[in-house]
Amino acid sequence: MPPHSPHPPLDADEFRRQGRLVVDFIAEYYDRIDDYPVRPAVSPGFLARQLPETAPSQPEHDALAAALRDVRDLILPGLTHWQSPHHFAHFAATASNVGALGEALAAGLNINPFTWAASPAATELEVVVTDWLGKALHVPENLLFSGGGGGGTLLGTSCEAMLCTIVAARDRKLAEIGEERIGDLVVYCSDQTHFSFQKAARIAGIRKGNCRAVATSWETGFTLSPKALLAAVHADVAAGRVPLFLCATVGTTPTAAVDPVRELCAALSGAGHDDVWVHVDAAYAGAACVCPEFRNVIEGVEAADSFSTNPHKWLLANMDCCALWVTRPHALTEALGTDHDVILKDGAADGEAVVVDYKDWQVALSRRFRALKLWLVLRCHGVDGLRAFVRSHVRMAKAFEDMVRDDARFEVPVPRQFALLLRLREKKQRCHDDDAGRVINELNRKLLEAVNATGRAYMSCAVVGGVYVLRCAIGNSLTEERHVQEAWRVVQEQATVILAVVKRTGGDRTVCNAHCLEIDGKASASFLAGK
């Protein structure tokens, strides 16, 4: 025990007392979360200026209670409140009582289940719970432990899943063609694929110039075209390069587009490239497969080599939790395995049935007991409860879409896939189309700034096919229909103000101006402040 501490670091009675403080603090936060603007109005360095330059030498009296007061007074006002029911900017990081308490339980047990022997129950629970989740999502049997060949694991993020599978594909291919040819390996995705894929590829040693982001278009709904993919693959083969890996996406970040997994796999196989590793990144929309009516978004995944989704996005598992399934776990373990340290070996497992050592399925050695949290979520909500949760958000997104379509000033530029895109509609103007396109993009950018400045809703943007759109992703645990309706009122109010300013300052002149909105300072300040 530290010389100046009244309690040992782990003390059951003190833990009960302090635990109640933290639980009450969190509960009060959720009670009051509507009182906070979704996004804080702070500038860089705001917090450092309010905290001491060095850590205290000795703890103050009742240090945790004092620290919680600082969390309330200093930290919370500077947070973007991801659990706010008014947060629509990003794919959600859903929270639940049991998700949070599962995190607390895992932290309290504080184990490090890097091998089966290091904590047998933790490893075996992960085997069980990844199969449970896979069956709930209608993942094909060839990706599950119970299917006899595949298996799943729980990581932190989709980027980790991408990195691990790229490394497995890389080592398998280099064993065939020689390690000196690593510079010839090429990976493929679409121009809508999340940037984390290119980051993972670079970490895995793929040259930056060998990451092919295949162009998508309005005509294909911004999905990856098998024909365009094959054209890129054939060009690389003709140049002496080696196609290695394809990342198909189910629920892209800009538009929630769903790449045609079955057709992409068939195209590669039919062209003699069935050795290309196909990974399906369903970080967001994979959760929707818990509902049978949405199972079609992963049709063909049985032909892929790996599949991942994030239960922390839409299945109440709290940050962080990414489920990865592979058809051939040995490809991961051969690339990522570490069997050289005698400390990690344990005779208790010798001679027994084959065990899973999850350290060999990931980059790091140490790992968190994520399975406990996910197991609690599945037990306490049930598959039917998760289906109802997802369906409620899909209904709200459809209701939002209907409201947008009922306002002639707006359009839904691409078909809704769970999340929604909207923008002020482009009208025919007496100037060049390029000028009109730039101006309407600028109007929508100003609209997003104005909406977010109100603090009553937080949305984000995307640029697809040269068009600036507002993104509204409905999926937070606390979001109800009234919050969606309020968000739409905010959008309408701010659009009314902006369009009135444009009209007052001369519509045709403004639309044709290369610098877009010629708005006087007073009016600009007003609409950006949401007044």
pLDDT number for residue 436: 72
pLDDT number for residue 510: 43
Mean pLDDT of 3-13: 79
| CB atoms inside a 10 Å sphere around CB 64 | 16
DSSP symbols for 273-308: -TTSEEEEE-TTGGGGGGSGGGGGGGTTGGGSSEEE
pLDDT number for residue 525: 34
pLDDT number for residue 420: 82
For residue 243, give the 3-state DSSP assignment: strand
- Ordered by where they begin, the domains of the chain are 1-78 (1.20.1340.10), 138-337 (3.40.640.10), 391-529 (3.90.1150.10)
Cis omega before residue 402 (within 30°)? Answer: no
**Exposed/middle/buried for residue 40 (C-beta within 10 Å: 0-12, 13-18, 19+):** middle
Mean pLDDT of 56-71: 94
The edge-to-edge listing of strands for the beta sheet with 467-472 is 410-411, 420-424, 467-472, 460-464
Query: Is 343 a residue whose pLDDT tops 80?
Result: no
For residue 417, name the pLDDT band (cuts at 50, 70, 90). confident
Average pLDDT, the chain: 90
pLDDT number for residue 75: 96
For residue 3, name the pLDDT band (cuts at 50, 70, 90). low
Q: What is the 3-state secondary structure (H, E, C) of 261-274?
A: HHHHHHHHHHCCCC
Query: Is 423 a residue whose pLDDT tops 80?
Result: yes
At 178, list the tokens: 């020689």
Nearest to 461 by CA among 421, 489, 496, 499: 421
pLDDT number for residue 71: 97
The Cα–Cα gap between 319 and 94 comes to: 8
Mean pLDDT of 203-226: 96
Query: Is 513 a residue whose pLDDT tops 80?
Result: no
CB–CB of 113/127 below 8 Å?
Answer: no
Question: β-strands 410-411, 322-326: how paired?
Answer: unpaired
At 299, list the tokens: 């049709």
CB–CB of 211/189 below 8 Å?
Answer: yes
364-406 pLDDT, tens digit each: 999 999 999 999 999 999 999 999 999 999 999 999 999 999 9
Residues, the chain, total?
A: 531
CB–CB of 239/204 below 8 Å?
Answer: no
Q: How far is CA 137 from the centre of its chain?
A: 17
The edge-to-edge listing of strands for the beta sheet with 151-155 is 151-155, 322-326, 306-309, 277-281, 242-249, 185-190, 211-214
Query: Is 91 a residue whose pLDDT tops 60?
Result: yes
At 115, list the tokens: 């091998």
Mean pLDDT of 272-277: 95
Nearest to 425 by CA among 414, 442, 440: 440
Mean pLDDT of 442-470: 94
For residue 37, give the 3-state DSSP assignment: coil
For residue 331, give the 3-state DSSP assignment: helix
pLDDT number for residue 306: 98
Looking at the DSSP bridge assignments, the partners of residue 472 are 420
At 66, list the tokens: 């004092």
